[in-house]
Structure 1
Amino acid sequence: MLIKRSPNGIDLPFPSEITPRDVYESRRTFIRQLAVGTIAGGSLLEMANREAFAQGSSRAKLPGKANPAYIAHDKVTAYKDATTYNNFYEFGTDKSDPAENAHTLIPRPWTVSIEGEVKKPMTLDLDQLLKLAPLEERIYRLRCVEGWSMVIPWTGYSLSELIKKAEPTGNAKYVEFVSLADRKQMPGVGSRVLNWPYVEGLRMDEAMHPLALLTLGMYGELLPNQNGAPVRIVLPWKYGFKSAKSIVKIRFVKEQPRTAWNVAAPSEYGFYSNVNPEVDHPRWSQAAERRIGEDGFLAKKRKTLMFNGYSDVAPLYAGMDLKRFF
């Protein structure tokens, strides 16, 4: 993946502190209270926005019940770091570009079309996506192919919930995700870094795995623009670029999708892109990582875990040569 550096040649994270525990816990308590029962007087999204504005915040809360089965017990990355140091090439190639430029994205109104080999093609707006299944909070590790990682509390539900609603036919072998590509909203779409729109994909059994999260929020709030608003995928056992952002189309297809980075550099970015410390990127090792907000640039890196520590997915790849299918 092409990486721009700061003038001194070093990519450095923002040195912010972790959110105080009491603040984070009080926010989660409020979220759980919202999640109990049906909210009267408007949609979930409207209620969340009203509550945010009443508290003098521009960040709308999003209800989600903590799921203890999907809680990484690592220290949670500070909100500031997670929202100011990330990849979203539609807004630029520097790590700080998405936070600086994504204010031009218009996340509402928004629709996602479900197409291809399904019995029930449909178009869902954001409020329909919010109501499609009970929202959960899951704390996932996220490992980037460049060698850095974070730990983020996401809000959403298993992608399989949407897939079951669409009722794929027997011809559906893969799921393809297509991101928005609008030059008026996304200045990076004019670059030649990639062929636009950004496309990602999964094999059907990967998409159906309960870890695959259709994501609508993070840190108990709606997704910020720079992190893929208003809807994205989070796949914690794969490198971060596999988790498509700002999705406008989900297609069920017979053939393996031609994904953005696999097309741009097939020798460097395989279709599967599972986190694997034993398979190096052609230009650097994948055996260790730097945790943003915890590990200083000069500190000793921590070891990377196979499948990023999510061993539940290992049966999906039984019998496969993971050096060939990287």
Structure 2
Amino acid sequence: MHFHPDRGHGRQLESEVTPRSLYASRRELLALGAASLLPNLAQAQGQGAKLAATKSSLAGALVMDKPTRYEDATRYNNFYEFGTDKSEPARNAHTLKTSPWSVVVEGECAKPGRFDLEALLKLSPMEERLYRLRCVEGWSMVIPWIGYSLAELIKKVEPNSRAKFVEFTTLADKAQMPELSNGALDWPYVEGLRMDEALHPLTLLAFGMYGEVLPKQNGAPLRLVVPWKYGFKSAKSIVKIRLVEKQPNSSWTKAAQREYGFYSNVNPQVDHPRWSQASERRIGEDGLFAKKRPTLMFNGYEAQVGQLYAGMDLRKNY
């Protein structure tokens, strides 16, 4: 999902949440532990390969909402590199090649380097975290992600005192992503976080969801999940991470600065210039006529992250 803004609103899927019995069976797989990753995991992307994880250590930070149905979460996506309509990424992302895959980490750090996927998978124990994800378009999902805090990777490369921000660059390959010619953005897709945001325990480097490796349309083989921000901040298919001194120029901020500010924290009191952000519709809840629910400040994570923005004008720094 670079869960994005104003194109391709699409049709909401009319389905119920995942049956408890089905999700419970997936959770049984997680109890196997992070060491039981399947062989050649990178080659199995998009084929339902299992990815083991332990229960999250973030006590009190995870939501109790029912998870969105797996079929909805994998068929209703924003991933403009594979199409601007919500249904297009699921149809088109089969062209994405996720093996071999590596991520370059560079910039203001003592130990820059290139990490292949297997090294990243082994860097820290995998956890399952049930996070809300809120799209700036006004819809939301609840997804059981699998990964570990991005802080584990950042600490590995030892940032120096000049590292104030973290910039993420995603894959941009016309041979694999035919929609790069659609002109929606200036590719490659670039996003950024302030360093304290990137180091916050909730900021997740995700490799899977629902007990399986990430489907290609959801950002395989690894993506960012920043649950208190609008979904387009959670970059997919990441190939480069740079620690930098100056604030990165994020793709959607560059394309429409008035509409998509750098911070992009979920704030129901600050409307998008063309629609309200005060309410949202949860994908999979009672079809198109479901009553919208009120949007929560910081997407419901205010107790965990509100202190990051103490003293800031959250209307000016939107």
TM over 0.5: yes
> Gapped runs of 5+ residues in structure 1?
6-10
Number of the residue aligned with 1:63 = 52
Tell me which of the two structures has the higher relative contact order, counting C-alpha pairs closer than 8 angstroms and 6 or more residues apart.
2
> Gapped runs of 5+ residues in structure 2?
none
Task: Specify the code of the residue in structure 2 equivalent to 1:2.
Answer: D
Q: Is the 8 A contact 1:2 1:93 kept in 2?
A: no
Structure-2 change in CA distance of 1:301 and 1:321 (3 Å): same
| Equivalence map 1:151-166=2 (5 Å) | 151-166=142-157
Number of the residue aligned with 1:73 = 64
Number of the residue aligned with 1:318 = 310
State whether structure 2 residue 213 is matched by structure 1 residue 222: yes
State whether structure 2 residue 17 is matched by structure 1 residue 18: yes
RMSD of aligned C-alpha atoms?
1.8
Q: TM-score, normalised by structure 1?
A: 0.92
Q: Is the 8 A contact 2:270 2:277 kept in 1?
A: yes
Kindly name which structure, 1 or 2, has the bigger radius of gyration based on alpha carbons: 1
Number of the residue aligned with 1:193 = 184
Task: Specify the code of the residue in structure 2 equivalent to 1:90.
Answer: E
Question: Hey, what's the Cα distance between the residues in 2 that align with 1:295 and 1:302?
Answer: 13
State whether structure 2 residue 6 is matched by structure 1 residue 2: yes
- Which secondary structure does the structure 1 equivalent of 2:142 belong to? strand
Number of the residue aligned with 1:107 = 98
Question: Hey, what's the Cα distance between the residues in 2 that align with 1:135 and 1:195?
Answer: 33
Q: TM-score, normalised by structure 2?
A: 0.94
Task: Specify the code of the residue in structure 1 equivalent to 2:39.
Answer: E
Question: Hey, what's the Cα distance between the residues in 2 that align with 1:93 and 1:148?
Answer: 16
Higher mean alpha-carbon deviation, 292-301 vs 94-103, is at 292-301
Task: Specify the code of the residue in structure 1 equivalent to 2:104.
Answer: S
Question: Hey, what's the Cα distance between the residues in 2 that align with 1:48 and 1:117?
Answer: 31
| Equivalence map 1:295-314=2 (5 Å) | 295-311=286-302, 312-314=304-306
Task: Specify the code of the residue in structure 2 equivalent to 1:163.
Answer: I
Structure 1 residue 72: Cα displacement: 1.1
Question: Hey, what's the Cα distance between the residues in 2 that align with 1:47 and 1:191?
Answer: 34
Task: Specify the code of the residue in structure 2 equivalent to 1:58.
Answer: Q
Task: Please list the CA deviations of residues 263-311 of structure 1 after superposition, one character each: whole Å capped at 9, or x if unmatched.
Answer: 0000000000000000000000000000000153233210000000001
Number of the residue aligned with 2:128 = 137
- Which secondary structure does the structure 2 equivalent of 1:183 belong to? coil
Question: Hey, what's the Cα distance between the residues in 2 that align with 1:18 and 1:278?
Answer: 29
Question: Hey, what's the Cα distance between the residues in 2 that align with 1:198 and 1:48?
Answer: 25
Q: Is the 8 A contact 1:239 1:273 kept in 2?
A: yes
State whether structure 2 residue 140 is matched by structure 1 residue 149: yes
Q: Is the 8 A contact 2:14 2:286 kept in 1?
A: no
Instruction: Give the number of equivalent residue pairs.
Output: 311
Task: Please list the CA deviations of residues 37-93 of structure 1 after superposition, one character each: whole Å capped at 9, or x if unmatched.
Answer: x55xxxx3417689x9xxxx9310001112162431001100000000010011110
Structure 1 residue 187: Cα displacement: 1.3
Task: Specify the code of the residue in structure 2 equivalent to 1:60.
Answer: A
Structure-2 change in CA distance of 1:319 and 1:295 (3 Å): farther
Structure-2 change in CA distance of 1:128 and 1:49 (3 Å): closer
